[in-house]
Amino acid sequence: MANKRAAQWDAFAAQWKAAEEAKEKRLEAMYQDWGKLKVLLGLTVVSRPDKVKWSRAFLDAYFKSPGIDPKMAKALSPYAPAKGRMRRDLEKLALRPMTEREREWEKGERAGGGVEHGKAGIEWVRIPGGSFMMGSSDYSNAQPHQVTVQAFQMAKALVTNKQYKACVDAGVCSPAHYSDGTCWIWNSSSLVRGNAPDSLKGGNQPVVCVDWNQARAFSKWVGGRLPSEAEWEYAARSGGKDWKYPWGNEGANCGNAVIRGCGYHATAPVCSKPSGNTKQGLCDMAGNAFEWVEDWYHGSYNGAPTDGSAWVDPAGSLRGVIRGGSWARGAGYARSANRYFFIPGLRFYDLGFRPAR
């Protein structure tokens, strides 16, 4: 009986998750279409009959499901029949306050498809909130557990050398440790501390040879912070999908990730593998360079926060969490649930970061 009930609950949970994912897709489609329609409604060269026709098509598609927001209702009510029920419904809806969820979606729509351009050229991508099973039974240090993540934004790409230099030039960040002999590099036979090769220093390549504190300083400078480990994995799995990689369950290969075995001798320019992007448009969440996150490393998720926040107890740990795989590591390192640790004060030739906020 217990097994039967468990099976029924698993089936219900799967159906609920599928319904939530479908709703998210409808919302995304609605706000994308609204961004286009809003532009057309503001053009004087577009005739009123055409505006009425397109507004009606939009309302037919989205008014009931997933439901439009009050600002949409206010903009569309002039194009509904003056004495019809739709006009009354729109005018009534327009008076309702926006919900927090609607404000989050509106913010993404204003930014143009969920992307907002910020300081140093950082492209902030909106990540809708939700619940997911973090971790994988394949890893003893990452056993599955449910986590709820609030909506947030994450940099589309790993921070580049050019972007990091802007922070250095502003007098906020210390230089990356490329030339002071303190970055761990591979010298063809072993890992040693030394100077990084010029092949890592391209302006559009990820900045590496930076420690945890440097990553935090840059993130603060651009108005963000390092992501929590839960946020990072949620984003890497395209919004918490039950996938092994950002694109699905197909393994990492030379077509979707910058990894070892694909002819790389250094990092690649960011976003050079678009087929490996997440559904929200994040680049290089698998491969190219490992990424610092805010959390201290623990050997398991026992006692980990379930609200998506960073796990920073005990304070002053000697091990920080890194995620994502790199150009110097094989496909297995690029799994979204895979986690490793590194000493926060050290620098590595395939370890960078991206901010969140």
Both tokens of 342, joined, read 């590194």
Q: What is residue 40's predicted lDDT score, i.e. its pLDDT?
A: 83
Q: How far apart are CA 100 and CA 79, in angstroms?
A: 27
Q: How many CA atoms lie within 13 A of 258 on its CB side?
A: 27
Distance of CA 331 to the CA centre of its chain: 20
- Pairwise pLDDT comparison (38 vs 276), residue with the higher score: 276
- What is the percentage of the chain residues whose pLDDT exceeds 70? 91
Q: What is the mean pLDDT of residues 217-240?
A: 97
Which burial class, exposed, middle or buried, applies to 44 when counting CB atoms under 10 A from its CB (0-12, 13-18, 19+)?
exposed
pLDDT per position as a tens digit, 148-158: 999 999 999 99
| pLDDT tops 70 at residue 104 | no
- Taking alpha carbons only, the member of 140, 138, 149, 354 closest to residue 245 is 138
Rounded to an integer, the average pLDDT of 5-30 is 72
pLDDT above 60: residue 341? yes
Q: Give the predicted TM-score (pTM) of the model.
A: 0.70
pLDDT in tens, 285-314: 999 999 999 999 999 999 999 999 999 987
pLDDT digits (tens, 9 = 90+) for 47-90: 999 999 999 999 999 999 899 999 999 999 999 999 889 999 99
The rounded distance, in Å, linking the Cα atoms of 127 and 151 is: 6
Q: Using 50, 70 and 90 to split pLDDT, how confident is the model at 43?
A: confident
Place of tokens 């393994």: 251
pLDDT of residue 189: 85
Name the band, by pLDDT with cuts 50, 70 and 90, for residue 197. very high
Query: Structure tokens of 4?
Result: 């039967």
pLDDT category, 12, cuts 50, 70, 90? low
Q: What is the DSSP string of 267-311?
A: ---TT--GGG--TT----SSBSSEEEEEEEP-SS-TT--SSS---
Among 135, 164, 181, 177, residue whose Cα is nearest residue 339? 135
For residue 114, pLDDT over 70 is answered with no
Q: DSSP secondary-structure letter at 225?
A: B
Neighbours of 31 (CB within 10 A): 23
Residues 6+ apart with CB under 8 A from 305: 147, 228, 230, 311
> Once rounded to an integer, what is the mean pLDDT over residues 117-128?
92
Specify whether the CB–CB gap between 277 and 283 falls below 8 A. Answer: yes
Name the one residue in this structure whose structure tokens are 């063809």: 188
The alpha-helical segments, DSSP class H, found in 63-114 are 70-76, 85-94, 100-110
